[in-house]
Structure 1
Amino acid sequence: MLDDWLSLPEQRPDLSHQPGKCPVPNNRQRPPRGSRPKPKGPRPVANKPREDGPQRIAKLLARAGVASRREVERMIAEGRIAIDGETLDTPATLLDNLNGVTVDGNPVKKPAPTKLFRFYKPKGCLTAAHDPKGRPTIYDRLPQGLPRLMPVGRLDYNTEGLLLMTNDGGLKRQLELPATGVERTYRARAFGEVSQEQLESLAEGITIEGVRYGSIDANLERSTGHNKWIQLTLAEGKNREVRNVLGHLGLEVSRLIRTAYGPFTVEGIEPGQIREIDRNELFHFRRTLK
């Protein structure tokens, strides 16, 4: 399928360290900042919540697939969540489990086994549950009979390709965090002039209108006249990142396809189709996450 895309008709569309006045013990000078070796391993996180103790209710409900944490907080503000019949008024509530918790008067079911799906999001639909303007959403494209699924990240209205979907709010959040380092790969068809050297400079990151975009591995795959096919791999996925970065280089993107998210690709599925990822494959993938 990816080779077919390439054959489609072209369209135009820090401060240096300042030593203090106090003497350093043993008459030794403090080494300049940046010259000291960094400690190995992840930085300790203060007051990191224990996974086996009480958890914030928003986190528990997200893991149960009720909604994302932010959506749960809105539901609490709307008075839709209660514990033992008493309406909850703060998302800071800590619980060991969801016994006695109701949403819109209905008991919360025990969390279902985690599932992850590959969905080919078509161009021309929103990654949202609904749209006030009445535009189609991904849920209008999904087939009937699926469990309640949440998208992992977003693809904008005119971007197509791989969108992971899950019933586990905890997994959704983990995959979305830049700190997790899951790479996303895109193919962009763009009009304009750009060199491989310009694309390689994106590996150092770039700041555009005050927004800092991290390292991007970009390669020119094919060039026909002013039309280019470019592959980009990144680990942040900020809003409209690929379009903004290529636009900054003077390119006009006419088609954008996400082809991979981590080890999962769009191969074998057509626009609007969805496929569940094998449980063993999901298990081994989760063991690789930070």
Structure 2
Amino acid sequence: MERLQKVIAQAGITSRRKAEELILEGKVKVNGEVVTQLGTKVSATDVIEVNGIKVEREQKVYFLFYKPRGVVSTVSDDRGRKTVLDFFKGYVEQRIFPVGRLDYDTSGLLLLTNDGEFANLMTHPKYKIEKTYIARLKGIPSFEDIKKLRKGIMLEDGMTAPAKVELKKIDRKANKAICEITIHEGRNRQVRRMFEAIGTPVVKLKRERFAFLDLKGLNAGEFRELTPHEVKQLRVLAETGKIG
């Protein structure tokens, strides 16, 4: 069930504020009945009319995308750079948008949808959806450095939540390391800033997992639709903290 004004706005008819005005003016019908109450909620099967014209609702879609490096996680870019939506042209009719962001130089798993409520569930820190990254580092973090990341480290925008961190590989000759890190926050360039804070800057970064989802079967630049079961499981995970 969703608020009536939200459904009207999502259908692209008008803004949510204008939709509220139309409802108050008695210009909106649900199943043939005039509705003037702003709190009204409607289901997917309810028939909505605005000024006598039936509202055609956009089908909700959910995609898992393997974002390559050198691509921006936005719907458009004023600098003319390639965006994640460029990979969906000709394949998707709906107006989708990325769920959160991956940096321009970061590759890996990114979700895209046209479902704002779902996107909020996936990105709001209170739902604690885990994201796992593989970071190639310049320098080798000490055990004490790893402990700092695991406990939470102070950045310019505050203390991070505790992270799961595992040192996967060390190359002492080249002074390089590979680390796996799992966080549930989504601050701007957070993983890069966390490693910079301990003196081992990230050379290359890839998001390998989002909750229980991974990139299996996909190459960079490819995508697939999430199954209805996967979407349901992600919602359950956000709302209960467990996979149902």
TM-score normalised by length of structure 2? 0.77
2:181 aligned partner: 232
Question: In 1, Cα distance between the equivalents of 2:139 and 2:104?
Answer: 23
Question: In 1, Cα distance between the equivalents of 2:11 and 2:179?
Answer: 36
- Among 219, 226, 236, the residue aligned to 1:277: 226
CA contact (8 A) 1:162 1:266 kept: yes
2:67 pairs with 1:131: no
| SS in structure 1 of the partner of residue 48 of structure 2 | coil
| SS in structure 2 of the partner of residue 165 of structure 1 | strand
1:215-268 deviations in whole A, cap 9, x for unaligned? 111111011131111100011121100000101111121111000110101122
Matches within 5 A, 1:28-177: 55=3, 57-58=5-6, 60=7, 64=10, 83=22, 94-97=39-42, 99-101=48-50, 108-112=55-59, 114-148=60-94, 149-177=96-124
Q: Which amino acid aligns with 1:96?
A: K
Matches within 5 A, 1:212-227: 212-224=159-171, 225-227=174-176
Instruction: Evaluate the alpha carbon distance shift between residue 135 and residue 100 of structure 1 in structure 2; reply closer, same or farther with a 3 A threshold.
Output: same
Aligned length: 218
Instruction: Evaluate the alpha carbon distance shift between residue 205 and residue 101 of structure 1 in structure 2; reply closer, same or farther with a 3 A threshold.
Output: farther
2:139 pairs with 1:192: yes
Q: Which amino acid aligns with 1:220?
A: L
Instruction: Evaluate the alpha carbon distance shift between residue 163 and residue 61 of structure 1 in structure 2; reply closer, same or farther with a 3 A threshold.
Output: farther
CA contact (8 A) 1:205 1:213 kept: yes
- Among 197, 207, 232, the residue aligned to 1:258: 207
Instruction: Evaluate the alpha carbon distance shift between residue 81 and residue 251 of structure 1 in structure 2; reply closer, same or farther with a 3 A threshold.
Output: farther
Percentage of identical aligned residues? 29
| SS in structure 2 of the partner of residue 190 of structure 1 | strand
TM-score normalised by length of structure 1? 0.66
Instruction: Evaluate the alpha carbon distance shift between residue 133 and residue 95 of structure 1 in structure 2; reply closer, same or farther with a 3 A threshold.
Output: farther
State the Cα distance separating 1:135 from its structure 2 match: 1.2
- Among 164, 173, 190, the residue aligned to 1:241: 190
Unaligned runs of at least 5 residues, structure 2: 26-37, 240-244
Query: RMSD of aligned C-alpha atoms?
Result: 2.9
Unaligned runs of at least 5 residues, structure 1: 1-51, 67-71, 87-92
CA contact (8 A) 1:196 1:220 kept: no
Question: In 1, Cα distance between the equivalents of 2:50 and 2:117?
Answer: 18
CA contact (8 A) 1:204 1:214 kept: yes
